Amino acid sequence: MRDDFLNIRHIEPDDCNAIFEVPSDWWGSNYSSDMISKWYIHHFRDTCLLAEENGKMAGFLIGFLSQSEPNESYIRIVMVDPAIRGKGVGRALYEEFFKRVGMLGRSVVRCVTAPGKKDSIAFHTRMGFIIEPQEQEYEGVPVFINYDGRGGNRVLFKKVLQKMENH
């Protein structure tokens, strides 16, 4: 894939139909989140991004600027068309997110993954995230127990953005 065929832009309300149709295919199972909704992408427009390859949706990213932590931003959901994985769509979405939240004054990006998702852990490490140390480990990976409060355990990633003047 050449970069000039990949366009990253905000998710618009009209994109929602296309987004709702993909998750069971792209995610690998049914995925439910009230952040995948028209009202969410309206109120969090700056941090909801869509990647298009030749005009066709290739992936999307849904995140937010933390209200409580003024330096932090959070990537909540990322999905990429399984037919074109490994071609840089995820990287392009993350890099655009880093750029935009950096311009909005955020110096930290956080996200999480399930401890069994080795590909996701490798991807985030390549993208410059560090894994936050924890008391517990799962197969050698630090794991935060009961992350959501409902018993789910997660690997916690943190990336400190380089200041623009260092580029």
Q: Quick one: how far is CA 7 from the chain centroid?
A: 17
8 A C-beta contact, residue 9 and residue 50: yes
* Least CB distance to a copy of itself at residue 147 (A): 6
Nearer to a copy of itself, 89 or 101 (CB): 101
Q: Is the dihedral of CA 37, 40, 44, 45 positive or negative?
A: positive
Q: Which stretch binds a copy of itself (CB under 8 A): 16-24, 83-91, 122-130, 159-167?
A: 16-24
Whether the CB-CB separation of 79 and 60 falls below 8 Å is answered with yes
Question: How many residues at the interface with a copy of itself, by CB under 8 A?
Answer: 33
State the nearest-atom distance from the C-beta of 72 to a copy of itself, in Å. Answer: 8
- Tell me which of 1, 35, 84, 114 binds a copy of itself, using CB under 8 A: 35
